[in-house]
Amino acid sequence: RDSFYLIPVQFEPFYSGNWSVLSGSCYGGYQKIADTCFVYVGGRMTYDLARKFCGKDNSSMPFIRASNQEELMRYIYLQQPLYNRRRHPVWVQSFDVPIGSCSVLIDGHVR
């Protein structure tokens, strides 16, 4: 019998392939939005730490376009149901803000 303190894991039914965790041509855990693969990792960190965190995964903070802001916010909400678009800023990059400048997506706008 396993320890009471371990997290229970249901391993049946098992999957014969990884197609169930893939989103189009994106790696597992990433979501395809428009033509870009996104992954949301919630947590408090500075802009520079967030940029370095993404770099460790051979990624970058997402470039946001007006056409995919709503879809991105829906994806974040699915990953973190307590996400509040009016109160929780998300570090991003935008073509409207100089690269390297701190920009956030909050309440449907990049600032």
Structure-model confidence comparison of residues 19 and 90, the more confident one: 90
Mean per-residue pLDDT for 1-16? 70
Under a CB-based contact definition with an 8 Å cutoff, are residues 62 and 72 in contact? yes
**Is 50 a member of any domain?**
yes
Mean per-residue pLDDT for 52-79? 89
Under a CB-based contact definition with an 8 Å cutoff, are residues 37 and 26 in contact? yes
Query: By residue range, what is the domain housing residue 63?
Result: 26-110
| Strand (E) or helix (H) holding 53 | helix 47-56
pLDDT at 16: 58
pLDDT at 95: 81
Average pLDDT, the chain: 83
**Is 10 a member of any domain?**
no
pLDDT at 66: 83
Residue 22, CA distances (Å) to 3, 55, 69, 73 in order:
32, 21, 22, 20
| Strand (E) or helix (H) holding 32 | strand 31-33
**Is 54 a member of any domain?**
yes
For the full predicted model, state whether its pTM sits above 0.85: no
User: Whole-angstrom Cα distance, residue 56 to residue 49?
Assistant: 11
pLDDT at 22: 57
Number of domains in the chain: 1
